[in-house]
Structure 1
Amino acid sequence: MKFCLILLVCFVGLVQAQMQMNVQQLADFIRSELALKQHTDKQIAAYIKKLTLSEKLTDKTILDLEAQGAQPKTVQALQELRDRTAALKGPGHDVTYSPATAPDNTLTAAPPTATLGTTAAPIPIPPPDSVRQREILDRIKQYAMSYSQNLPNFICVEVMRRYIDPYAEDHYRSIGNVLAKVSYNLGHEDYKVFSVNGHYEETTLERAAQSGGAISNGEFGSMMQEIFEPGSEAEFGWDHWGTLRGRRMAVFNYFIDSGHSHYSITYSSGPNDEQRIYTAYKGLIYADVDTGEIDRIKFIAVNIPRSFPVSEATEILDYDQVEISGRPYICPLMAQLYMTAGREKSKNVIEFRDYKKFGTESNITYGAENVPPPLPASKTEEQPATASTPAANQAGKPAAAAKGGSNPWWAMPAPPPPPATKPPQ
């Protein structure tokens, strides 16, 4: 009770001084109210109706706030505020921006005009409401936590194409290829290199990478599952609708702080010089809204200590349907790794090919085989989502079996004054 009284006293003095806001302050206020959950939708809406904005409020900002949990009365109040600010100049930046969301073109674009022979830009799909978002996330979590158990025992070939950019100018040159046999048996991954730069060689991934480049493991379930384990305390938020391989995907962002992270980066400049850290990371998850099937995960290391040799690390992992012994499964398709150490950048493009059942079908002798051609770009390029994009289970593809630190996707501010409420009697 004492805390509530202090909060109300503070509000009385601040509400008069902060009746005028810019769009950034408005968005921060609504986000903090959604996080604190101390006031009703009706109370928040009543407070918004008393505000005066110094900038234009756009439809995109309202849609983003609705996707993050704003309720109907709040949304209606925002729409009325949008109409009252239509003649004002917009803010100089997208206040609800996330790295994977398209910029708000209403800030700079002129009104659309019809031109003979051109096609109007597709209308973006509104985000799902907060209840629907929770339902989708629950399906995604269930899928991720059971993914490894639903995989059969199998083998496949890992094709690793390695590149370096010595001067961080985005001019990559090839430093060769590595082929490895990957065995997945009873939930465990095993990698055995059998070809390096076209020459037969039995070695480990770690030794094969000593000539440069990066390596990764955990693509067959552990990386996916660790995001959703309760101990990771991941923070999730809606990001956008996307299209992968012709299918509509719901895309969520996430963040896991370093205290709960299983994401490690190892740097080695020689056999006796190896350094490893566990770092916070964020990313994106692309999934089917109906089954929770995950088709892409993006990992971005954040808050890497400056003393560590690696300053940037990103991985994009794609999953797609493959056939093993005549049955369809969702398995890793490609992994793309990007790392920066000093002035040097490295890029590894890893493809998973030739899946076979572990056991009788895996008695294959591997040699210095030719590297297969790369997968076409259409397999991994994301396209904008439109109303005409089919949902995953409508595209002819069988459905699969069904926080510590601040989230860097947006900065949660200290809460502005909430709407006035009567103290409890």
Structure 2
Amino acid sequence: MLQLELFVYHVPTIRTKTRTPMKSNTPLTRLLFTGVFLALEPTVAVSQRPQSQSSPSPTVTTAVDGIGLGDNHGLAQEEDFYTAMIRDKRFAEDRPEGLIKLDVMVTEATGNPVAGLAASDFHLLENGREQKILSFEGFTGRGAGPEPPVKVIVLIDALQVSAELVRDERDGVISYLRKNGGRLAHPTSVFQLSETGLWAVANLSTDGNALARGLEHSESTLVRRNTLGPRTVGLAPSIDFALMALGQIATEERRQPGRKLLLWVGPNGSRSEELKIRPSLYATICWFSTLLREAQLTLYSLSAGESESSAQSYNAYIAGVASPHGASSMNLDRSVLAIQSGGLVLDSSEIEDEIGKCVREAGPFYRISFDPFAAEHPDEYHDLKLEVDDRRLNAHTNTGFYDQPYYSADQIPPLKRMSLEELQRIVDLDESDAAKANQLKGVELTQRLSEGRLATLFTIVHGKRTRQQLRILADASSFLDPPTDEIPAAPPPSPDEQQHMVSMTATYLTSAIHKLPDFLARRVITRYQETPMFLESGVKYQPLHQTAISTTTVHYLHGQEDADAEGHSLRLGNLDLITYGVFDIALQNVLDALNANGRFTWIRWEREIAGRAAVFRSTVPVDQSLSRAMMCCLPDGDGAQTYQRYASYQMEIAIAPDSGAILRLSFQFDLKSTSPLSRSDTMIEYGLVQIGGRTYDCPLRSVSITRVRSVRVLRWWDESFRTYGPYTILLNDSSFDQYNIFRSESRVLTGFTPAEK
């Protein structure tokens, strides 16, 4: 079976000079340059689904609402491979998932965690408004499948603490580690913060005895030295050092999957006289709030040795700060950050028992996600409240977050919708090329601008800028319905006639795919990209605009497509969209859909340049799909992780009714989640070309368009972490020409006498 895959790849420091020809088992990553990659990758041809699956057995359907083929057109059946692929749990099915993710702990009044709840048991309020929970999962906390066990991090605070209290802290931690014979339920590590810096005392382990021995013998490694720089908050040194330690641990944990509990043991030395209105204070508050949420890190403050009056002084700041003018150093207080991250503040001197209470919150727990309400300005604070229907239970999670305008899935700024009639009026204006082009920027059409109509407009428009904008509009509209004057008024064919057309297409594809010779072709790719708002300070928004033109030679050898990497004129540091596999692989995908009982529904007649076309459409649901939406690289982990989901998709074919030849083919993913991808569409137009004196159906042009979230790096002092940024749109317009047969000839020359030396 063939797979339709979208790969978004942006590692701007990588450039490949050679490419390995695609083979059926070639890893996708071996084929990548930098940027966004869209591939139709062959694996193994499959004629039908195994009967054990939920999909119906192959039948011939003659109803108007669906056309299928039950005959196997010469393709081998590989049911075992199909079963393995469709049940491959490394790649989950595409499902709704929100941008903001929260880990949720639910406890009884006694503090015991509660398992077995469902999404319907919760109500999420964002700024007092009911918010829709898009995804919901429950976890044991001990690790299962891709979810690792909850990690426990113990930080002993010896910063400006008496030697006696430090000893008590260490003894309490050691006592906890040695409980139950030193068998820890969760992987645990131990750090210590002192005047010299942050030290790793005991590495991650579930062997409590080994951790205790490391702590007893002070076997520590320096993680970071306490130094003040110009980009610190500028508060008291003890506060800056504590925040730097928190930033160090949290940014490292942002690169690791799963939930983490950070247990900060010791009096809260980060508390001092309230300080307001520092230029970087509000930005620092936003940074730490976002970091703790993105790192899935819950902070617990075990304030041993702290006076009760001092311990309660943080309560007035838990609600969060909504503007720079209200920012206070107390908004960065350890206890405030603990409550806001969903953790606890404990002030008992029984350190061993308090650690046990915190670790008990490792699980079971829940993870929910949602898409936030639109923000009017950057770093807009939104309050969160999670309620459980059972009032006897308590749910605690992040109490708020800092929203961004680009967190919304809406287009920012919105595009101006324009009909073809309005477009024609602008083209007819007696204005300069620049004036017309400016009126066409930031526009989306309401109907398809076909190649025939575009050619007519080009006879009127001769300015380079306006022509370029018209090309962008035409490409972006490739997946829209045509205008009514391009839909013939003929009645639809009968069900038998529809069945006959689809059967001819299957027969035609079986012949066309296997008869392609080895050849070379030139591919010219014009790349367009949107520069989004809020990308970086000082970067202005630009709607889709041309960024590069590249020319490559496509080699089609032994049924494999490969593009020559040399001459690839991409610029480093740019996102890129690469479309691969528009020759036989895309057509093979159609043939497989027909043979695997793909139900192609009659849509309409259309008027194409080549004549009248019959349009059919097939929708492949996610539970029957072998097509994966893929993206690299996510902001999670080390920045090299990929997003891979089986996704439903829609396939539309425009065929010649008298021969079944494919004139136009499009694939559109139906993505349920808006992050990291919200759109992935590819359209290919085919036509007759001469190769070696014979005529073949080959691609003439293709359009690929994707809308994907960028990745931003948020920095504070010398620490940084990745998070999702604004959407950007990438579009490729590819044309194919200069088809030439690829072959070698040899001749034996007779009568040759070598020259005497």
> What TM-score do you get using the length of structure 1 for normalisation?
0.51
How big is the shift at 1:288?
Answer: 0.9
Listed one character per residue, the Cα deviations across residues 184-224 of structure 1 (whole Å, up to 9, x for unaligned) are 11211112222244xxxxxxxxx879721311222111222
Amino acid at match of 1:218: G
| Aligned equivalent of 1:174 | 546
**1:266 is matched with which residue?**
630
> Any residues of structure 2 matched to 1:227-376 within 5 Å, and which?
227-229=590-592, 232-269=596-633, 272-306=640-674, 308-342=675-709, 343-360=727-744
Q: Write out aligned runs for 1:16-415 (5 A).
A: 68=65, 100=481, 124-167=489-532, 171-197=543-569, 211-229=574-592, 232-269=596-633, 272-306=640-674, 308-342=675-709, 343-360=727-744
Q: For residues 672 and 515 of structure 2, what CA distance do their matches in structure 1 show? A: 34
Q: Deviations over 1:222-244 (max 9, x none)?
A: 22222332675422110111122
Alpha-carbon RMSD across the aligned residues, in angstroms, is 3.1
C-alpha spacing 1:229/1:351, structure 2 compared with 1 (3 Å): same
CA distance in 2, matches of 1:221, 1:121: 29
Deviations 1:282-338 (A, max 9, x none): 0320111121100110111003434x4111011110111111112111101111001
Distance 1:264-1:356 versus aligned 2 partners, 3 A rule: farther
How much has 1:183 moved relative to structure 2?
1.0
Structure exhibiting the larger radius of gyration computed from Cα positions: 2
AA aligned opposite 2:516: L
- Partner of 1:147, secondary structure, is helix
CA contact (8 A) 1:100 1:239 kept: no
Contact 1:158 1:181 in 2 (8 A): yes
Q: Structure 1 residues 312, 234: closer, same or farther in 2, change over 3 A?
A: same
Cα separation, 2, equivalents of 1:121 and 1:160: 28
Q: Which amino acid aligns with 2:701?
A: M
- CA offsets per residue over residues 345-366 of structure 1, 9 Å max, x none? 11001111211111239xxxxx
For structure 2, which runs of at least 5 residues remain unmatched after alignment?
Answer: 1-62, 67-478, 534-540, 710-726, 746-757
Is the Cα–Cα contact under 8 Å of residues 176 and 196 in structure 1 kept in the other structure?
no
Check 1:354–1:99 CA distance in 2 against 1; reply closer, same or farther (3 A cut): closer
What is the identity, as a one-letter code, of the residue corresponding to 2:693?
G
Provide closer, same or farther for how the CA distance between residues 296 and 210 of structure 1 changes in structure 2, counting only shifts above 3 A: farther
The answer to whether the 8 A contact 2:487-2:607 is kept is no
Deviation at residue 249 of structure 1 after TM alignment? 0.7
Aligned to 1:117: none
One-letter amino acid matched to 2:481? A
1:20-70 per-residue CA deviation (whole Å, 9 max, x = no partner) reads xxxxxxxxxxxxxxxxxxxxxxxxxxxxxxxxxxxxxxxxxxxxxx9548x
CA distance in 2, matches of 1:279, 1:333: 28
> Is the alpha carbon distance of 1:209 and 1:287 closer, same or farther for their aligned partners in structure 2, counting shifts above 3 Å?
farther
AA partner of residue 158 (structure 1): R
Please tell me whether the aligned partners of residues 67 and 128 of structure 1 are also in contact (alpha carbons under 8 angstroms): no
Q: Deviations over 1:105-127 (max 9, x none)?
A: xxxxxxxxxxxxxxx99971111
1:149 deviates by 0.2
Q: Secondary structure at the match of 2:543?
A: coil
Letter in 2 for 1:281: Y
Q: Which runs of no fewer than 5 residues in structure 1 stay unpaired? A: 1-65, 70-97, 104-119, 198-206, 362-425
AA at the equivalent of 1:339: T
Aligned-partner Cα distance in 2 for 1:213–1:289: 37
| % identical aligned pairs | 22
* Structure-2 separation of matches of 1:305 and 1:183: 36
CA contact (8 A) 1:335 1:351 kept: yes
Question: What is the alpha-carbon distance in structure 2 between the residues aligned to residue 212 and residue 345 of structure 1?
Answer: 10
TM superposition shift of 1:253? 1.1
